[in-house]
Amino acid sequence: MLGKMERSEQVLKVGLIGNPNSGKSTVFNQLTGLRQKTGNFPGVTVEVKEGRFTLPKGQAVALIDFPGAYSLYPTSTDEKVLVEVLANTSDPNFPDLLVFVADVTHLEKHLLLFTQVLDLNIPTILALNMSDVAEAEGIKVNPTRLSAQLQAPVVFISGRTGENLPQLIQAIEQLAESRDPWKSSFYKMNNDELRISEAVCQNFACTNPYRALLLAHHKDWLRFLSPAEHATLDTIVKTKQFQSLLQQVDETMVRYDQFTPIVRDTVQQPSVFPVTATDRIDAILTHRIFGPFLFLGVMLLVFMVIFYGYEITGGWVESTMAWLIEGTETLLQPVSAGWVVDFITKGVLEGFKGVLVFVPQIALLSLLIALLEEVGYLARAVFMFDKMMRRFGMNGRSIVALISGGACAVPAIKGTRTIGNWKERLITILVTPFISCSARIPVYMVLIPVALPNANWWVWAQVFGAMYLLGVLAALGSGWILNKVMKSREATFLALEMPVYRAPHWKNVWLTVVDKVANFVSGVWKPILLITSALWFLSSFGPGDVAGKAEQSAAEDIEAGIAADSVRGDLEASYRLEYSWAGKLGKTIEPVIRPLGYDWKIGIGILSSFLAREVFNSTMYIIYSLESVGAAEEEAAGDQSPFERYSSLKDKMAMDTHRDSREKIYTPATGLSLLVFYALAMQCMSTLVVVKNETGRWRWAVLQFVFMGSLAYVLSWITYMLVNLIA
């Protein structure tokens, strides 16, 4: 957490604030480059960046990029974070001075927050961003007159081109060195506000009247206040009969009355605004009918790039890790015990593989989302789908995560950080894993032909599509339920400023991708490694001499003519898994899953799928004594049509029977039930770890696991019963 970072006394803390889409993050990247790190504010999962740079005279600066906000009367978690820091002078992130980045082409909209900040008496520089765009649109600003009337230094900059950033740095240095820094009071409080402010100042030793007023307004949710301070503020508010909401509205209107004439006096607008390229593009991309279809086309392209891009880049990761695992095994076998070699290769290195395999997808999704945001299209998409998604407890930004979840839930959940409202973001996180990801496809390719062996490819394709539809319906339905159940005081309206379309700033895109990937790897490798090692232990050890019993059982099968000696290794691997703790656990849960038509072998497959859903196939290869065959069929799968893959495994599964009844296991009822289970159940440890990291608590990940598992069980049982009834 950045609040706990150690800083030298000589380090100047500079806060970077501004409205969303003001270009603030681009300015941050220009000033700090790679000298930055990302974390969460203490106690919340709101992302904050801190970067370092040095002033010309050698003063070190810690630049804190605060979340975007529209005012100090917040409607989202992001805005609350800013208020909580600025209202508490003891906060470790409280800045020595502020740089307020404002879009000069929409200056009036940005001055509400700016004038509120001025009244906190924190030395503040107004950085008028997008000066190049303003010049192209014929907008002229008199910075000297604007500075005099606002009583704050004003600097023209362009975050995209880096124009005048040295002047901004110089202004920071001058303001930091000034013995009489610019501090102004802009808003004149009314009598009611003065009374409440004076009362708060007397009880809290608060020297700034406007900060005292903010304490009265936000007493119900400010976390740094003690219970006694909450009680004191409650008493003051009730005694003074302070009407917070009414005063907020009045203050906002008065501020606009004050700074609107300033803007008119200092900003020269063109007499007639020309029809810009942005206007012409918006006429198509945000069209009431064509706009949503165009967006779905863009999202389909995003999905395809992630999906097929992973086929290439993910293959590099897997082949590199396979080479590393094989080489490590070769080096260690002569000098280490067999279980040590297994632990390092199949436990530790497989754990790192489970982290690195997601890096290409995280990078690709971060790249594509950053590009869409940089060019200005993402804001339009949010606007178009916001109303529809609110019916399901989410907002317009949620649809990006849901569609991205079709490739992989891990990067999709990471992408929800763009959602400011905590409730809507949490619902999006919880329902995104319902969307069928690429890891489910190999399982579907095996189970669909096994469940419906006499059907043709067209029927199989329809069932495959039905699994995706089931995931979408489960996500939307669950979102609707959660929206009804979960309570939140946060407002759920959309406040969004449409940026102009522009070419992406590639440095900004690159830094975003690097930051997202580094943040993912640093946050998940430890728990994933721990879980992978635990699963390795469960599948490698068991009661008694597992290896000895496996060798004996394999030898007995060969002597009895049940299997050939050429598959002895595969037989031993199968029996080792059956006799392991994982195998015992699979047999233990068999009575629980038997109502769904499953046996203990499927139970082991379900348990192993927690590592990753596609592991179901490799586990089944081992169980059916096809471990060596499985490697060859996995390699050949890329050159075969989807439903032709994994032929040996499908044949074995289709012929398998229950030991007690000798009835076939994989009937249409069992197969379709298992398909529904895999479509709905949470079986991905990486996703759970990311959910924990993004929500800040394991309870949400556990709730998600239990809810998805329970829904999967119930609907799988219903499917099993209905298919049997129809048959």
Provide the CATH number for the domain around residue 16: 3.40.50.300
Separation between Cα atoms, residue 523 and residue 689, nearest integer Å: 9
The pTM of this model reads 0.70
What value does the mean pLDDT take over residues 512-540? Answer: 76
Share of residues in the chain with pLDDT > 90 (%): 26
Q: What is the mean pLDDT of residues 571-599?
A: 87
The average pLDDT across 135-156 equals 87
Q: Which of 415, 435, 455 is the last residue of a domain?
A: 435
Please count the structural domains in the chain.
3
Together in a domain, 135 and 236: no
Instruction: Note the pLDDT of residue 4.
Output: 38
Tell me what the mean pLDDT of segment 676-704 comes to: 89
* pLDDT, position 15: 94
Residue 443 lies in a domain: no
The CB density around residue 551, as the number of other CB atoms within 10 Å, is 16
Q: Decide if 471 contacts 434 (C-beta within 8 A).
A: yes
**Long-range own/partner contacts, residues 518-526 (CB < 8 A, 24 or more apart):** 518/38, 519/38, 520/358, 520/359, 520/362, 520/410, 520/411, 520/414, 520/690, 521/355, 521/356, 521/359, 523/689, 523/690, 523/693, 524/355, 524/686, 524/689, 524/690, 524/693, 525/351, 525/352, 525/355
Query: Taking 90 as the threshold, does the pLDDT of residue 704 lie above it?
Result: yes
- Taking the C-alpha atoms of residue 57 and residue 425, their distance in angstroms, rounded to an integer, is 43
Residues 309 and 396 in one domain: yes
CA gap 434, 691 in Å, rounded: 13
Where does a domain end: 385, 411, 435? 435
Residue pLDDT, tens place only, 644-653:
777 888 888 8
Is the pLDDT confidence value at 394 over 60?
Answer: yes
Q: Domain end: 177, 200, 216, which one?
A: 177
Instruction: Judge whether 98 lies within some domain.
Output: yes
- What are the pLDDT digits (tens) for 149-192? 998 999 998 877 788 899 999 999 999 888 666 666 788 899 98
Return the higher-pLDDT residue of 365 and 416.
Answer: 416
**Secondary structure string (H, E, C) spanning 481-545:** HHHHHCCCCCCCCCCCCCCCCCCCCHHHHHHHHHHHHHHHHHHHHHHHHHHHHHHHHHHHCCCCC
Residues 206 and 158 in one domain: no
State mean pLDDT over 50-61: 90
Residue 421 has pLDDT above 90, yes or no: no
Q: Around Cβ 120, how many Cβ atoms within 10 Å?
A: 19
Q: Tell me: do 19 and 162 sit in the same domain.
A: yes
Kindly state whether residue 332 falls inside one of the protein's structural domains.
yes
The listed range with the strongest mean pLDDT (68-77, 79-88, 546-555, 616-625) is 79-88
Tell me the pLDDT tens digit for each residue of 191-235.
989 999 999 998 887 889 999 999 999 998 898 989 999 999 999
Quote the CA–CA distance of 85 and 13 in Å, as a whole number: 13
pLDDT tens per residue, range 501-518: 777 878 778 877 887 777
List the beta strands (DSSP E) in 41-81.
47-54, 60-65
Whether residues 225 and 327 share a domain: the answer is no
Q: Is position 704 within any domain?
A: no
* Helix spans in 178-289 (H): 191-204, 209-217, 227-239, 244-266, 277-285
Question: Do 393 and 310 share a structural domain?
Answer: yes
Q: Are residues 131 and 101 in the same domain?
A: yes
**In terms of domains, do 159 and 219 share one?**
no
Does 723 map to a domain?
Answer: no
Show the 3-state SS of 422-460: HHHHHHHHHHHHHCCCHHHHHHHHHHHHHHCCCCCHHHH
Selection from 231, 233, 243 nearest residue 212 by Cα: 233
Q: Has residue 88 been placed in a domain? A: yes
Percent above pLDDT 70 for the chain:
89
Residue 7 has pLDDT above 50, yes or no: no
Q: What is the average pLDDT value for the chain, to the nearest integer?
A: 83
Q: Lowest mean pLDDT of 336-340, 584-588, 694-698, name the range.
A: 336-340
pLDDT at 276 over 90: no
Shared domain check, 232 and 171: no
Tokens 């038997």 correspond to what residue?
594
Rg (CA), the chain: 30
- Shared domain for 301 and 416, answered yes or no, is yes
- Same domain? For 88 and 137 the reply is yes
Report d(CA 155, CA 166) in Å as an integer: 10
In terms of domains, do 172 and 309 share one? no
**What pLDDT is attached to residue 8?**
42
pLDDT tens-digit series, residues 17-52: 999 878 888 888 888 876 667 666 655 556 778 889
Please check the confidence at residue 715 and state whether its pLDDT lies above 90: yes
More confident residue, 314 or 16: 16
In a domain, 128, yes or no: yes
Predicted confidence band at 723 (pLDDT cuts at 50, 70, 90)? very high
Position 466 in a domain? no
Domain that holds residue 154: 2-177
Burial class of residue 485, CB neighbours in 10 A (0-12, 13-18, 19+): exposed
